[in-house]
Structure 1
Amino acid sequence: MRVSILYPFSCLLSAALVSGEASEAACDELASVLPNSTFYPEAPTYNASISSYPFLQLRLHPSCIVRPNSPHDVATALSILKDSNCTKFAVKGGGHNANAGFNNVEDGVTIDMQSLNHVEVALGDEVVRVGAGSLWQDVYDVAEKRNLTAMGGRIGVVGTAGFLTGGGISFFSPEHGWSCDAVVNFEVVLSSGKIVNANATSNPDLFAALKGGQFNFGIVTRFDLKAYPATTLWGGRTVYHPNATESLLTAYTNFKMGEFDPYAAGWVTVRYNHTAATFSPISIMWYTKPAQKPGALKQIMDVKPQLMDGKVEAPISEHTRNASRQVVADPERTIWTTTSFSISPRIMHRIHKLWADLVPEVSKQYAYAKPIAELTFQALPGPPRNGSSPNSFGFTADETPEKDLIFLQIIFTFTDAAATEGFEEALKDFLKLIEGVSKEEGVLHRYKYLNFAASFQDPFSSYGGDQKETLKKVARKYDPQGVFQLQVSKGFKLF
């Protein structure tokens, strides 16, 4: 019971009191203090917020939704919730994390940051200031008007907040590293209600912790991001004939084992559609220096036969807008998990064979849910170097994950909630088998990318024991009552 020792007023000790009545009372108080920002289930704004979640399993129903219009509104809401008999709450940025309960709550209170969606470019200092409710499409559209861009998401409908506090992988990550390392300042509301800035000189321990530690310390209300010159990208989706799968995996293996190219980004996926009983190999790759294309992507682009070539040269905003159409076209349920390994000549082929041999049989058991399974391989960014401010991932400056490592995403997308438990167990089985193969090859790596981790995983432990202890110290310092450990409904917690 270490948590209750650390936090003597622990909600764990009064769990019996935490009920629908308590959350309703909290909602009533929120409505009295923030009447224009608190919404009940009968309100159109409430229903719009619920329907904005991109995956169906996320569409839970809180007792009320608070949509703050300022950091001070966030502070007010936190103060009420902290004193509300341990009412559970969740915080929604873009709402793209696939783990149910991580960005919404059944009963309880959801703080929807959607109204904090301002994007502005600061004159003279080349900083893009982004509200925590902004989507990346908003950021790119505004910044490109000033011939600037940012280290953001590769799908426009992804939110800025969870993406950046979980790490963030950008088109420019091979060259510049994690997106969170392009944050120059976080504006944060602490559980005390105090609004602070976290940057290299002010609260630097909190600054590092927020780069990978997510919501364990406070609610970020604004990100100040380093701006980069706007550019066009060359690339996009290529769909290959199923017979090209082995060639594509070999090409990506050679790409990773060859000379590192900082302008080549993206991933390869093998997709299994159970209804059609087909496997589809796909590459989604970009080159950030179009005049020099295809660079190290040549072997991947040369794989044949191809069924569709969607590569174009276009502004970032066009690539992300196109990618968003794939996500929002037909909302379904999805669950995913992740692991990492060092590249070797055989490992991608071995993992794929294991998965491809088993996934049709797994999918057959839940055919009524019309499952689609995906196996995706992509590169990790490099750590901060040259004296840059640290992040929380535990890689040292002399490590080269951008060259050596691949992280894997294993996904099921489906239509029927009844299949959820079965697919979650299947993910656990796949993870155990794949990590077994990776260990046998001597290439298994500790790291688990938080933004793609399943609810049953512990990404903070994968950062390394010392790093997790550091995060715990920061949480105790900035949230001494443990509000974000005990009252936030779900998520990756430190205690």
Structure 2
Amino acid sequence: MASLSKLYAALAVASVFSSALGLEVCTQIQNAVSSASTVSFPGARKGNYTADIAHWVASSTQQAACSVEPGTAADVSAIIQLIGKAKAPFAVKGGGHSGNPTFSSTTGVQISMRRFSSVTYNNKTATADIGPGLIWDDVYTALEPHGVIIAGGRVGGVGMAGFTLGGGYNWLTNQVGLTLDTVTAYELVKPNGKIVTVTAASDPDLFFALKGGGNNFGIVTKFTLKTFARGNVWGGAISYPPSALPALQAAVLQFNDNVTDPKAEIIPGYTHVSGEFQPSIVLFYDGPAQPAKIYDTFLAIPNLFADVKPRSMGALVASLPTDQPGGTRGYFHGVTLTGYSSKLLDAIANETSFWGARLPGVSVGYHIEPFLETIYTHNALPTAFPWFRTPRTMPLNLQFTWNATTPDADVYAVMKQSAEYLTQFAVHDGTGIAGAPIYPNYALFGTPLGSVFGNNIGRLRRIKAQVDPHNVMGLAGGWKL
């Protein structure tokens, strides 16, 4: 508990320090940027301050000294140079879906990339240039007229930039790997203001670092990703009564052990909310119709609600919203698994019920993500995450949401304890390995850096020292090298 108190105290100290310094540099930025960009201040009648600092949960939002919406890469260059010169705390926000305070929020200069919102499809290269200010829902919708999809977020409201820089488990992971495996180029504003296009050929080290290395190397103003020719996909969500849990777990194990079709994916979920255990599942098939046999067992279990049908990828993702009521607070955390067993599924269900009953007013959720053994074989190049690709590892997602009457520190402590317990359980059960990488996009703030980047830390730090010798990006939150 002492270390937890220090962690929250450090966040508070950073907030007090940063606000005055941030306000000073805000005026400098306002005078430097072009008419394509705007600077907004709290309390002002004009501007987009409230939207610029907003996140999917209130606990990730901070009151910035000002918000900046750059409209061009050149303005991003001017902004980052002024921030670096002033050594002012700042943050860069794409879609605002980070669950960790300070990772894309600040009490200094809040940079919102919302004006970088274009999607340009290139038929000749089968790629799309995507702006970092978008959420995946919008990306899918923009590409639908071209008859292509992209390996992006699986639920509604997820920002494409942070998702891609941190990894990107997606509905096509069995077929093409993580989203970062499908990136062919990054337009990057380096910490010194230089604007470059980073590819495997132009800068192999920096290309490696941007694939899972987060916001340590500059500000990405454009992602170029592979596209895949597709029509409709099939899938959706099913909610079950608590009594269906044994049948659901048996079906999950049967799927995990026997289904080898790479087009088929599932996300079973255990949630405890309003005093009740609620099992559910999301089914997905990369085809226009329900495949034979694969999902029959799940569909045969008596359910409370089912919305499973053919539709576009955009429509499927939109049917799985993550929007939260105003004022809701929330964290993510992750556990890394190598497989599943009936004992492990029981342990996950028990954790859901145990903590759900002891945290009134908190929605407690655990989401299971089984993948094929081959998910990391689709990219021959090394990446910052994961730092090893054999054996295959899979993330278990913990997602807790609550209102302001529950102390954040209490939920933080529970999530950390639960993740540690399930990690130890999985290692003992043979469904986990000690020291496995924790998915950066799920890992709770305070997770040791070695658990995120592992054996890649040395190489990443060398690249960081070359690209950012004055540690400008260290003025922002995130997994800092």
Q: 1:417 to 1:482 in 2, by over 3 A?
A: farther
1:183-202 matches, cutoff 5 A? 183-202=183-202
Task: Tell me which residue corresponds to 1:470.
Answer: 459
| Aligned pair partner of 1:453 in 410, 435, 443 | 443
User: Structure 2 unaligned runs (5+)?
Assistant: 1-13
SS at match of 2:96: coil
Q: Provide Cα deviations, 1:446-481, integer angstroms capped at 9, x if missing partner.
A: 12111111102136534432x221211111121111
Structure 2 CA distance for aligned equivalents of residues 28 and 175 of structure 1? 48
- Give the length in aligned residue pairs: 462
Q: 1:310 to 1:39 in 2, by over 3 A?
A: same
Task: Tell me which residue corresponds to 1:11.
Answer: none
1:288 aligns with 2:279: no
1:333 aligns with 2:321: no
SS at match of 1:253: helix
Q: 1:40 to 1:260 in 2, by over 3 A?
A: same
SS at match of 1:221: strand
C-alpha deviation, 1:328, in angstroms: 5.0
Q: 1:268 to 1:48 in 2, by over 3 A?
A: same
C-alpha deviation, 1:293, in angstroms: 1.0
Q: 1:101 to 1:464 in 2, by over 3 A?
A: closer
Structure 2 CA distance for aligned equivalents of residues 482 and 198 of structure 1? 20
1:147-226 matches, cutoff 5 A? 147-226=147-226
AA at the equivalent of 1:227? T
AA at the equivalent of 2:151? M
Structure 1 CA distance for aligned equivalents of residues 370 and 224 of structure 2? 26
SS at match of 1:444: coil
Q: Provide Cα deviations, 1:351-393, integer angstroms capped at 9, x if missing partner.
A: 2243045214421xxx3xx211111111357555476333222
Task: Tell me which residue corresponds to 1:38.
Answer: 39
Q: 1:295 to 1:208 in 2, by over 3 A?
A: farther
SS at match of 1:212: coil
Structure 1 CA distance for aligned equivalents of residues 323 and 453 of structure 2? 30
Task: Tell me which residue corresponds to 1:59.
Answer: 61
1:72-221 matches, cutoff 5 A? 72-84=74-86, 86-106=87-107, 108-221=108-221
SS at match of 1:245: helix
SS at match of 1:23: helix
AA at the equivalent of 1:432? E
C-alpha deviation, 1:297, in angstroms: 3.2
| Aligned pair partner of 2:320 in 309, 320, 323 | 323
| Aligned pair partner of 1:479 in 461, 468, 472 | 468
Q: 1:469 to 1:379 in 2, by over 3 A?
A: farther
Task: Tell me which residue corresponds to 2:345.
Answer: 349
Structure 2 CA distance for aligned equivalents of residues 92 and 389 of structure 1? 28
Task: Tell me which residue corresponds to 1:389.
Answer: 381
Q: TM-score, normalised by structure 1?
A: 0.88
Task: Tell me which residue corresponds to 1:12.
Answer: none
Task: Tell me which residue corresponds to 1:423.
Answer: 411
Q: 1:156 to 1:410 in 2, by over 3 A?
A: closer
AA at the equivalent of 2:347? I
C-alpha deviation, 1:432, in angstroms: 2.2
AA at the equivalent of 1:37? T
Structure 1 CA distance for aligned equivalents of residues 22 and 270 of structure 2? 44
1:359-374 matches, cutoff 5 A? 359-363=355-359, 367=360, 370-374=361-365
AA at the equivalent of 1:410? L
Q: 1:375 to 1:384 in 2, by over 3 A?
A: closer
C-alpha deviation, 1:221, in angstroms: 0.6
Structure 2 CA distance for aligned equivalents of residues 165 and 355 of structure 1? 30
Q: 1:126 to 1:386 in 2, by over 3 A?
A: closer
Q: 1:360 to 1:143 in 2, by over 3 A?
A: closer
Asked if 1 retains the 8 angstrom alpha-carbon contact of 2:237 and 2:307, the reply is: yes
C-alpha deviation, 1:123, in angstroms: 4.2
Task: Tell me which residue corresponds to 1:435.
Answer: 423
C-alpha deviation, 1:291, in angstroms: 4.1
User: Structure 1 unaligned runs (5+)?
Assistant: 1-14
Give the fraction of aligned pairs with identical amino acids, expressed as a percent.
24
Once the two structures are overlaid, the 10-residue window that deviates more, 473-482 or 455-464, is 455-464
Structure 2 CA distance for aligned equivalents of residues 16 and 423 of structure 1? 21
Q: 1:281 to 1:387 in 2, by over 3 A?
A: closer
AA at the equivalent of 2:350? L
Q: Provide Cα deviations, 1:308-366, integer angstroms capped at 9, x if missing partner.
A: 11101001111122223x52566621112111122243343332243045214421xxx
Q: 1:16 to 1:375 in 2, by over 3 A?
A: closer
| RMSD (Å) for aligned C-alpha atoms | 2.3
Structure 2 CA distance for aligned equivalents of residues 295 and 95 of structure 1? 39
Asked if 1 retains the 8 angstrom alpha-carbon contact of 2:120 and 2:130, the reply is: yes
Asked if 1 retains the 8 angstrom alpha-carbon contact of 2:237 and 2:320, the reply is: no
C-alpha deviation, 1:46, in angstroms: 3.4
Q: 1:147 to 1:328 in 2, by over 3 A?
A: farther
C-alpha deviation, 1:285, in angstroms: 1.4
Asked if 2 retains the 8 angstrom alpha-carbon contact of 1:37 and 1:68, the reply is: yes
Task: Tell me which residue corresponds to 2:366.
Answer: 375
Q: 1:471 to 1:332 in 2, by over 3 A?
A: same
Task: Tell me which residue corresponds to 2:6.
Answer: none
Structure 2 CA distance for aligned equivalents of residues 155 and 105 of structure 1? 26
Asked if 2 retains the 8 angstrom alpha-carbon contact of 1:372 and 1:414, the reply is: yes
Asked if 2 retains the 8 angstrom alpha-carbon contact of 1:175 and 1:262, the reply is: yes
Q: 1:70 to 1:180 in 2, by over 3 A?
A: same
Structure 2 CA distance for aligned equivalents of residues 158 and 96 of structure 1? 6
Task: Tell me which residue corresponds to 1:3.
Answer: none
C-alpha deviation, 1:18, in angstroms: 5.1
AA at the equivalent of 2:80? L
Task: Tell me which residue corresponds to 1:10.
Answer: none
Asked if 2 retains the 8 angstrom alpha-carbon contact of 1:133 and 1:161, the reply is: yes
Structure 2 CA distance for aligned equivalents of residues 469 and 481 of structure 1? 18
Decide which structure has greater helix share. 1
Task: Tell me which residue corresponds to 2:8.
Answer: none
Asked if 2 retains the 8 angstrom alpha-carbon contact of 1:245 and 1:270, the reply is: no
SS at match of 1:213: coil
